[in-house]
Structure 1
Amino acid sequence: MQEVEQFIKKHRLLSSAKTVVVGVSGGPDSLALLHFLWKRSAYYKISVIAASFNHMLRGEESENELKVVEQFCSEREILFEGSRGDVALYQKEHHLSSQTAARTCRYRFFDEVMKRHKADALALAHHGDDQVETMLMRITRGSEGYSLAGIPIKRPFSNGEIIRPFLGITRAQIEQYCKVEKLHPVFDPSNDSEKYVRNRYRKKVLPFLKQENPYVHERFQYLSETISEDETYLIEQTKIAIEKVLITKTEGKIELSVCSFNKMPIPLQKRGITLILNYLYKKIPSSLSSVHKENFRSLLESEQPSGVLHFPSGLFVSRSYDRCSMSFEPIKTKEESIYDFSFELPGFVELPIGSLSAEITENKPVSIRGKDVFVFSKNDVSLPLRVRTRRPGDRMAIAGVGTRKLKDIFIDAKVAQEERKVWPVVEDSSGRIIWLPGLIAAKSDHINHSEQWVVLRFQKNRHDV
């Protein structure tokens, strides 16, 4: 375990620690970490406490794992803290995924143990293979910033910090350590189930990478540290730059100069948007995505001098010439009648005249009717969809009619002039108008052989413009 000792020394993981809590499930990784820190406790001058949490998800099997850890600690006179929590109930009450619920309950227990013993560090057994899997998963789903760096070596937690001494070694090295030290870990069968995304990366992607380079975990760890260092520097530069473009900054509202913002380097622009959103939201809504950030940049770069975006949780982004305002209070101006943004599936958006929602289903809805609902196969259109206000000369293809001007459709439907300015127009990525919510849908090819169907719904406000 010389590599682990070098890793600890390089990153100063135990330089100031006196009491270390070790999160232990009973598996090879965490049992090896507990054994290693206990064996080297005199060298590092630390007291070691084992903390084990039974998620109560696998009945007697989970309870047995808790007892295995307790017995392990008893034989070596390691202070043991064990607890149980009904994760399934917590998941149901808080509407979370099983993994998120388990993590929340587990970390809450770790926090309690650290505070009770005034511990300086919580040691967790994430290793180099975990790092590779995590970084690949995040790259694949489109993460950005610090998230791309994967699992941090250390970070603040409770009254101390989380440390991960095993990030520099592999799962195979840990299993070899268990064999040499005659440790007898338990094995969680869920780690073999391919219904979990991580397990699919572990079984299908990681073996290929290791064939190409047996030390791939070291390259990923180096990349992780490089990304973290670069991101720290860029964030500091962004904080300096963003202060120079802000016109006003108050609770719940930001106003900035469009011209000055556009002169910032693009990497700082992207991070600047993130800083602004973090400031305004306090807690970022799960529905906020990179699409919203790109829409924000597009609004500021547009040749159109004005426009409005509607972000999750009622955040309005309004541009009027060189001023861009972000606030939870809509500003009523003529310019704000213009909007144009990508619409995620599934998704929900508030509009000046009402709201649009989108859901995806595997079975074609047969009983849904009405002009306020539009159902289509994902094979019928080019995604992503865009929602915008009308433009001069807009036309759409209508079954049995041919193409018609939107202006004529509005006139026939007796839509008031002021309402026409803010009425949503839904088009696909090719620019084809597919739906005028509440009024009419475009001609469809009716492709019925589809695994997924999209249901769009329009809810018009009772009192509009």
Structure 2
Amino acid sequence: MELNNEFKRHLERGRFFDKNDRVVVAVSTGVDSMVLLALLQELPASLRPQIIVAHVNHRLRKQSEEEEQFIRDYCEDHRLKLVVHHWPLTEHPQNGIEEAARKMRYCFFAQVMKDEQATILLTAHHQNDLAETMLMKLTRGGQLHQLIGIEEKRPFSSGTLERPLLNFPKQRLREYAVNNHLKWYEDLTNRELTVSRNRFRHQVIPLLEKENSNFLAALSNYHEQLELAVELENQFAQEQLAKLSNKEGHLDIKALCQLPLAKERLVLVKWLEKNGVLGLKRGFVEQVLSDINNRHLPQIKRRVTPDLVLFKNYSELFVKNVNQSLQKVQPSINSVVKLGRWYSIENDYQIAVAKEKTFFNQGEHCQEMWLAPEQLPLKVRRWREQDRLPLKNGGHQKVSRVLIDQKVPLSKRNQQLVIVDAQDTVVWVVGRKWGWFTRPGDYTTRWQQLFIGKRDLKRRKE
């Protein structure tokens, strides 16, 4: 079947988007993203969304400038809106550049979605990408849900990230590009076998395809089965947690131990994750299982993260933040923020600054922030009329303007808090807007990574 028609039917079955949606399409100028863009343009008017093309010039290769000019010309010829981001060389880290580039790209895509009032981000991940990811996860080991690899749809920023090509193999996309005379650029670094993913792409998967010519389709089928299995697994775990947990969230040990071992392990892991204990290793889980099933060990105290401790107290399991210290913020507050502590703001919410993201539980929003040594320590205080927030473009915005733009009632403006650095520069207008600090190339080695977050007390009580 012609790829255009197959793509159209796949969209209709999967309910990805419709003609009224504004979508941001991530285009690198590689063959995959150029085919995705072409397929979207070929959709009938009844299905075709409003397209905004997003391109990142990483400035990692000599041809980056040529690629940018190409996509600019392409979008102009096809009357498509284009947004381009340049990644300054000064922001390139010395180590881990691939991961840094990925984070930068998705931050950029999220900003484009916000600026363009788009609700969907489309990327060109395909069946081969899925196979590579699943095999890499299988090789490394871990939890069952990690084997799913790449999700076809997931929440992202203010909307969703969707991958409508996930059911199509790379070869089909390349054939379409050749047959339709599409131009694209090859990234030669994709051939470097020092990169783990490239070894799976060029060595492992070709060998498996020799054993089974339908290997990619078979793995894609397993992907769908895994998604269903994990969904049912989560549903079972949540039902059990509702039965086995009390109002404080403590887990009934006797009832837990009556479950078959595999189900006991599943429920324990989900309960620990719910309490902020993430990234669990098999050996740790097995040790905890052994401890809670040991009748001769009525009490245990085991540190599970720098801040969290797991307690077994005869009949119950519970997790406690041993460093947590709630501190009431008074109207005249002007105090240094201590790391790893929640600060109550009136009776509405709490704020905290921590070194680890795991300090925050699921549902508690936190923002990663890198700060120079001379910016520390941070302080929390009421905002002042002269306060200004540093912006990405090098400019500043008055905090008073932030409050006006966000239509904060006058009765609440005087109560607005800000977190400031040691130079009294605003880092965060609490709950409203973040400052921007330009990072040097070696910021990961010299600067401090912090996580600043907020949680709603009223919602927690409900």
**Structure 1 residues 124 and 232: alpha-carbon distance in aligned structure 2, compared to 1, 3 A threshold:** same
Match of 2:71 in 1: 69
Post-superposition offset of 1:135: 0.5
**Structure 1 residues 17 and 131: alpha-carbon distance in aligned structure 2, compared to 1, 3 A threshold:** farther
Residue pairs, 1:271-286, within 5 angstroms: 271-281=266-276, 284=278
TM-score by length of 1: 0.64
CA contact (8 A) 2:40 2:48 kept: no
Q: Does 1:328 align with 2:327?
A: no
Structure 1 runs of 4+ off > 6 angstroms? none
Alpha-carbon deviations, 1:383-411, whole Å to 9, x = none? xxxxxxxxxxxxxxxxxxxxxxxxxxxxx
Worse-matched range after superposition: 82-91 or 221-230 = 82-91
CA contact (8 A) 2:18 2:48 kept: no
Match of 2:289 in 1: 297
Q: Does 1:12 align with 2:20?
A: no
Match of 1:458 in 2: none
Match of 2:237 in 1: 238
**Structure 1 residues 319 and 159: alpha-carbon distance in aligned structure 2, compared to 1, 3 A threshold:** closer
Aligned mates of 2:233, 2:126 — CA distance in 1: 27
Alpha-carbon deviations, 1:212-233, whole Å to 9, x = none? 2222222212211211122112
CA contact (8 A) 2:16 2:164 kept: yes
Aligned mates of 1:97, 1:52 — CA distance in 2: 21
Unaligned runs of 5+ in 1: 331-465
Match of 2:86 in 1: 84
Match of 1:26 in 2: 29
CA contact (8 A) 1:41 1:48 kept: no
Alignment partner of 2:45: what SS?
helix
Alpha-carbon deviations, 1:180-218, whole Å to 9, x = none? 110110011110011111101011111012222222222
Aligned mates of 1:33, 1:218 — CA distance in 2: 20
Match of 1:264 in 2: 259
**Structure 1 residues 88 and 29: alpha-carbon distance in aligned structure 2, compared to 1, 3 A threshold:** farther
Residue pairs, 1:145-164, within 5 angstroms: 145-164=144-163
Match of 1:453 in 2: none
Alpha-carbon deviations, 1:163-194, whole Å to 9, x = none? 11111111111111110110110011110011
Alpha-carbon deviations, 1:330-379, whole Å to 9, x = none? 9xxxxxxxxxxxxxxxxxxxxxxxxxxxxxxxxxxxxxxxxxxxxxxxxx
- Overall identity of the aligned pairs, in %: 26
Alignment partner of 2:155: what SS?
strand
Post-superposition offset of 1:87: 7.1
Alignment partner of 1:42: what SS?
coil
Aligned mates of 1:131, 1:31 — CA distance in 2: 19
CA contact (8 A) 1:26 1:185 kept: yes
Match of 2:373 in 1: none
Aligned mates of 2:40, 2:50 — CA distance in 1: 9
Match of 2:135 in 1: 136
Aligned mates of 2:19, 2:271 — CA distance in 1: 35
Match of 2:200 in 1: 201
Post-superposition offset of 1:43: 4.2
Residue pairs, 1:372-391, within 5 angstroms: none
Aligned mates of 1:218, 1:328 — CA distance in 2: 46
Aligned mates of 1:237, 1:153 — CA distance in 2: 23
- Asked which structure has the greater RCO (Cα within 8 Å, sep 6+), the reply is 2
Match of 1:182 in 2: 181
Match of 2:338 in 1: none
Q: 2:23 corresponds to which letter in structure 1?
A: V
Q: 1:257 corresponds to which letter in structure 2?
A: D
Q: 2:315 corresponds to which letter in structure 1?
A: D
Worse-matched range after superposition: 73-82 or 133-142 = 73-82
CA contact (8 A) 2:19 2:45 kept: no
Unaligned runs of 5+ in 2: 324-462
| Counterpart among 54, 59, 64 of residue 51 in structure 1 | 54
Alignment partner of 1:57: what SS?
coil
Aligned mates of 2:295, 2:222 — CA distance in 1: 39
Post-superposition offset of 1:110: 0.6
CA contact (8 A) 1:87 1:105 kept: no
Post-superposition offset of 1:88: 6.8
- Structural RMSD (CA): 2.3
Alignment partner of 2:250: what SS?
strand
Q: Does 1:255 align with 2:258?
A: no
CA contact (8 A) 1:168 1:217 kept: no
Structure with bigger gyration radius: 1
